[in-house]
Amino acid sequence: MANIKYEIKETVGTISENNKGWSKELNLISWNNREAKYDLRDWSSEHEKMGKGVTLTKDELIKLKEILNSMDI
Amino acid sequence: MANIKYEIKETVGTISENNKGWSKELNLISWNNREAKYDLRDWSSEHEKMGKGVTLTKDELIKLKEILNSMDI
C-alpha cells in the first residue's frame, strides 16, 4: 500500500463496526488523485489501515441498490 | 488463493461487466465449508479467477441497502 495516495472525499456511511475497532464503510475516495469512486472497505480506527475492498462507479452503486431492493432481506 | 475452498451457493446479481469478461457480482458464498456469507467481488468469466472483494453478513447487507436508499443516486 506504500505508494498509493488516497483522499477520502466523503464518508457516505458506516455499515458495521467490529470489536477490534475496524469498520466497514462506504466512502467516496480519490485514488492517486484520479476522479473519486465509491469504495466499500474495512478500515481500522482513524482510517490508519485499510482492508481489502471493492471500488464502484455510480452506475454500479445504482445497480447494487436495485439488486438489494429486489432481495427478500 | 490455492487452499481456499469456496462454493457459490447463490448468484444474487451481476452489478457490471467489463470488456475483458470480468464481472462484479453479489453472491452468497460458503468459504471453507463455513456458513455462507454475501460477497461482493470481481470474477473472471466462468468464475475461474477472483479479484479482491468484501464479504458481508445479512445485517451488513441490510444496512448497506439503507445507506444506498438514503443517497441521492
pLDDT in 10s for each residue of chain B, 73 residues: 567 899 999 999 999 999 999 999 999 999 999 999 999 999 999 899 999 999 999 999 999 999 999 999 9
CA atoms within 13 A on the CB side of A13: 14
How do residues A20-37 score in pLDDT, each as one tens digit? 999 999 999 999 999 999
Give the gap in angstroms from C-alpha A73 to the nearest C-alpha of chain B.
7
Answer yes or no: is the ipTM higher than 0.90.
yes
Three cell numbers written together for B31: 468459504
Q: Counting one residue from A and one from B, how many pairs have CB atoms under 8 Å apart?
A: 82
Tell me yes or no: is domain A6-70 CATH 2.30.31.70: yes
What's the predicted TM-score (pTM) here?
A: 0.91
Long-range contacts of residues B34-39, Cβ cutoff 8 Å, at least 24 apart: B36/B9, B36/B10, B38/B12
Q: Which residues of A touch B (CB under 8 A)?
A: 12-13, 15-16, 24, 26, 40-42, 52-54, 56-65, 67-71, 73
